Amino acid sequence: MARPKIALIGAGQIGGTLAHLAALKELGDVVLFDIADGTPQGKALDIAESGPVEGFDAALKGTTDYADIAGADVCIVTAGVPRKPGMSRDDLLGINLKVMKSVGEGIRDNAPDAFVICITNPLDAMVWALQQYSGLPAEKVVGMAGVLDSARFRHFLSVEFDVSMKDVSAFVLGGHGDTMVPLTRYSTVAGIPLPDLVEMGWTTQDKLDAIVQRTRDGGAEIVGLLKTGSAFYAPAASAIEMAEAYLKDQKRVLPCAAWVDGALGLKGMYVGVPTVIGAGGIERIVDIKMTKDEQSMFDNSVEAVKGLVEACKGIDGNLG
């Protein structure tokens, strides 16, 4: 059987890391697309030249021509402009909306059967626009945010508890941004929920609150340190986990920005929710029950996402 084809739209910091990880994990052949001629070709060749050392079998190609993504099984979209220090994800809206139009049309015309993972920010609005511009089925167009946000949460918790990151699971809901909702009740160390760990004296409520806040600000913390761009290693690893779940029909339960119509009391919108990812794309939305407090935090996040979507509609009247 031919290897799967993975198209990476955007060959910047995240795109290059995605290509490297996809090759190292032998997920398939990789096509790196970018409008900056030379960048995708250079990165593809550089990674291909690491193949004999790493011992992977994967073809890598760099291109500025959408025709080269033809028939891709997975498209991961990072095309656009990342945040600069002091810039919010929302500041990026106008610039990246235009990028989503060209990328959506490129995917529609060349890879209409692909599973599409959007990473470009502001995430929840961009994945919504990308689905509209591409016209692909909503269950095949998703945004990567929750896996990254929960990975950050898991990392901070593992350091606080001095236990393996493997044994920490975390649950994050809502939009990718300052309003995201880390659910401590559903976040555990080897199955023990965080509130119980507070009672057991493993940490204090104040420390846990600080970790939740640090998780919400996780993207900005990296931007502040890097100064010239935003996070790329953890975002790339997170999207690769989602791509692998689709390509291998793993039925992974992963939080991501998915189209929700009915579950969690929502009517037709993209927002971060727990999902099952398998060969059908988003195969299920996990319709959890929230406490009053959780629901009000989630509602707040939903409103923030709706605001961004309305702003997109204001910029491009054809969206709706």
**Residues designated catalytic:** 176
134 binds ligand APR per the rule CB under 6 A: no
3 is in an annotated binding site: no
110 binds ligand APR per the rule CB under 6 A: no
Residue 36: both structure tokens together? 């900056």
Task: Yes or no: say if 94 and 312 are a contact pair by the CB < 8 Å rule.
Answer: no
278 binds ligand APR per the rule CB under 6 A: no
Which of 39/184 has CB closer to ligand APR?
39
DSSP assignment letter at 55? T
Applying CB under 6 A, the span of 72-80, 156-164, 169-177, 298-306 interacting with ligand APR comes to 72-80
Between the alpha carbon of residue 184 and those of residues 150, 291, 293, 311, the distances in Å are 11, 12, 12, 31
12 is in an annotated binding site: yes
Which of 12/255 has CB closer to ligand APR?
12
Question: Scanning the structure block, which residue is given the tokens 């901070």?
Answer: 156
- Please, is 99 exposed, middle or buried when counting C-beta atoms within 10 Å of its C-beta (0-12, 13-18, 19+)? buried
DSSP assignment letter at 252? E
Applying CB under 6 A, the span of 19-27, 35-43, 151-159, 288-296 interacting with ligand APR comes to 35-43
Task: Yes or no: say if 239 and 18 are a contact pair by the CB < 8 Å rule.
Answer: yes
Which of 102/158 has CB closer to ligand APR?
102
User: How far is Cα 120 from Cα 10, in angstroms, rounded to an integer?
Assistant: 10
Which of 193/229 has CB closer to ligand APR?
229
Task: Yes or no: say if 174 and 298 are a contact pair by the CB < 8 Å rule.
Answer: yes
User: How far is Cα 130 from Cα 118, in angstroms, rounded to an integer?
Assistant: 8
13 binds ligand APR per the rule CB under 6 A: yes
- At closest approach, how far in Å is the CB of 170 from ligand APR? 20
* Of the candidate residues 21, 44, 60, 119, the single one contacting ligand APR (CB under 6 A): 119
62 binds ligand APR per the rule CB under 6 A: no
* Of the candidate residues 6, 7, 8, 14, the single one contacting ligand APR (CB under 6 A): 14
**What is the spatial order of strands in the sheet that 192-193 belongs to?**
168-169, 188-189, 192-193
DSSP assignment of 17-52 equals HHHHHHHHTT--EEEEE-SSTTHHHHHHHHHHTTHH
285 binds ligand APR per the rule CB under 6 A: no
Residue 70 gets the label, from left (phi > 0), alpha (psi -120 to 50) or beta, of beta
43 binds ligand APR per the rule CB under 6 A: no
* Of the candidate residues 4, 62, 82, 218, the single one contacting ligand APR (CB under 6 A): 82
Question: Scanning the structure block, which residue is given the tokens 């015309």?
Answer: 109
- At closest approach, how far in Å is the CB of 127 from ligand APR? 12
Among 63, 79, 71, 144, residue whose Cα is nearest residue 114: 71
35 is in an annotated binding site: no
- At closest approach, how far in Å is the CB of 200 from ligand APR? 36
Site track for ligand APR across 205-244, x = CB under 6 A:
------------------------xx-x--x---------
Question: Scanning the structure block, which residue is given the tokens 């795109």?
Answer: 15
Residue ranges at the known binding site: 10-15, 34, 83, 89, 96, 119-121, 152
Chain positions contacting ligand APR, by CB under 6 A:
9-15, 34-36, 39, 78-80, 82-83, 96, 99, 102-103, 119-121, 229-230, 232, 235
